[in-house]
Amino acid sequence: MADEIAASAAPENGAGPRQGRSAFQRLLTVTIGPIVGAFLLSAVILLLVGVNPLTYYGYILERGLLSGLGLEQTATRMAPLLFLVASLIIAFRSGIWNLGTDGQFLLGAVAAAASAPLLVGVLPGWLVLVVGFVLAAIAGAIWSVLPAILRAYQGVNEIITTLMMSFLGVLMASTLVKLVLLDPGTTVPQTRTLPVADRLPRLFDTSISSGLIWGLVAVVAVHLMMTRTSFGMRLRVVGANPAAATHAGLSVPLLTVAVFGLSAGFAGLAGAADILGVQGNVRADWNPAYGLMVIPLVFLARFNGYASIVLVFFYSALLIGSESAARRLGVPQDFTLVLVASLLICLGLGEYIDHKKSRKER
């Protein structure tokens, strides 16, 4: 009985302001503090390599967020990242660690790039794009069939199989471009190019691709599916406790296969969004590796769609800003990764400190 009393007392503690520490102090520990810490940590590294961190951060802020063109680029960059967020939210909320999104992304991109330019003129413009997206989703999903079946029916760990399939997928995409889908009109190994006029329409008078809108729709739709529908509930039960799912009469293997298919399908859509919206073609050596970049963001957002959108926005700004900072200051573009890594470490530390403090209070 004693634990019941404890259980009934606990939420009152949680609802009201905690004794000793205000909500603001918590915010400071888990959010603001770590962000400031990460920028300071990266500043130290920049100083060590002889770059003024204030100038660097200034460029990022100016190019990624404050200038009109930079903001448009940031928004356009968000589109493929958002589709990947949708892909990962489905998988992670269902307890499936799909780490093969890069391969699925590239194969989706290749499928879109291979089909769309050939269909221009044959089909109406909007249908060309639809077919491109659908084929990309199918290509991505096909690349997850093997890990899906191994996981669902043999219990093989999907972290390893999806990663391996991802390497194969990246090479496969490059091989397809070099051998099969080569544009005869150029000497560079790349697919045929989708004319700018036939790509995803731009928003209003800006250069922002409408892929952004579809990406936002995808994330919100996936978020609602996972939290508000019976299908999402089934997936969450499977993810949280497969034994309980079996006990409740759910077909765990079938649902697992469905999760792989959906997740990889969205990764394929991400590829299509980048090709049909921005790039227009796939070069044989092209691999932006967005998939692995997005994983930490989805974790930080705790698999919440809305929070992910905010994080993706800031991350895109960081990417765009650091690209131009790299050109002007000579700091390698990969320095973004240093910044993101410091941020992750500091957020983790903040989380740890908060946990310890709240334990002490009890």
Partner 1 sequence: MAQPANAAETLSPSGGAELVGLVNVTKRFPGVVAVDDVSLAINAGEVHVLLGENGAGKSTLVGILAGLQEPDEGHLSVNGKRTRLASPSASLDAGISTVFQHSMLVPTLSVLENLILGAPWWQSSHRAGVEARMDELKRDFALSLPLDARTGDLSLGQQQQIEIARALLRDSRVLILDEATSMLTPQGAEELGARMRQLTDKGLAVIFITHKLSEAYHFGHRISVLKQGRLAGQLAPEALSALSEAEAIEQVVTMMFGRSSDSAEPIRRKTTATAQIVLSVEGLCTEGDNDVLGLDRITLDLKAGEILGIAGIDGNGQKQLAEALAGQRPVTSGRVSFDGADITGLSVSERRRRGLRYLTDDRLEEGTVGAFAVAENTVLKDIGEPPFWVSGIERPARIADHARDLIKRFAVSTPSEATPIGRLSGGNIQKVLLGRELTGEAKVVVFNKPTYGLDLQNIDASRDRLGAVAADGTGVILISTDLDELMALSDRIAVIEGGRIHGIIENDGTGEALRLRIGRLMAGEMDKETVEV
**Minimum CB–partner distance for residue 237 and partner 1 (Å):** 6
| Residue whose CB is less far from partner 1, 70 or 95 | 95
Residue 155 is a binding residue for partner 1 (CB under 8 A): no
C-beta of 210: minimal distance to partner 1 in Å? 28
> Which listed residue (23, 197, 230, 362) binds partner 1 by CB under 8 A?
230
Q: Which of 123, 138, 156, 233 binds partner 1 (CB under 8 A)?
A: 233
Nearest to 265 by CA among 48, 88, 5: 88
Between helices 211-228 and 305-329, what is the axis angle to 10°? 150
Please report how close the Cβ of residue 217 comes to partner 1 at its closest, in angstroms. 18
Structure tokens at 56: 């660097």
- For position 10 contacting partner 1 by CB under 8 A, the verdict is yes
State yes or no: residue 4 binds partner 1 (CB under 8 A): yes
Q: If you search the block for the tokens 């209003």, which residue do you land on?
A: 204
**Termini Cα distance of the chain:** 19
Cβ pair 339, 42 in contact under 8 A: yes
Q: What is the DSSP letter of 302?
A: T
Contact predicate 234/254, CB 8 Å: no
Nearer to partner 1 among residue 3 and residue 205 (C-beta): 3
State in angstroms the smallest separation of the CB of 244 from partner 1.
5
Least distance between partner 1 and beta carbon 301 (Å)? 17
Instruction: By CB under 8 A, tell whether 13 contacts partner 1.
Output: no
Does position 16 interact with partner 1 (CB under 8 A)? The reply is no
355 binds partner 1 (CB under 8 A): no
Residue 199 makes contact with partner 1 by CB under 8 A: no
Q: Which residues contact 356 (CB under 8 A, 6 or more apart)?
A: none
User: Binding to partner 1 by residue 231, rule CB under 8 A?
Assistant: yes
Structure tokens at 330: 């000579």
CB of 239 closer than 8 Å to CB of 96: yes
Where do we find the tokens 């990309």?
136
Q: How far apart are CA 146 and CA 260, in angstroms?
A: 10
- Our finding on whether 244 is near partner 1 (CB under 8 A) is yes
Least CB distance from residue 235 to partner 1, whole Å? 10
Of 88, 78, 71, 118, the C-alpha closest to 273 is 78
Which of 81, 163, 237, 309 touches partner 1 (CB under 8 A)? 237
Contacting partner 1 (CB under 8 A), which of 126, 243, 360, 362? 243
Taking the C-alpha atoms of residue 248 and residue 182, their distance in angstroms, rounded to an integer, is 51
Indicate the Cα dihedral angle 141, 147, 148, 153, nearest 10°: 160
Interface residues with partner 1 (CB under 8 A)? 1, 3-4, 7-8, 10-11, 228-231, 233-234, 236-237, 240-241, 243-244, 246-250
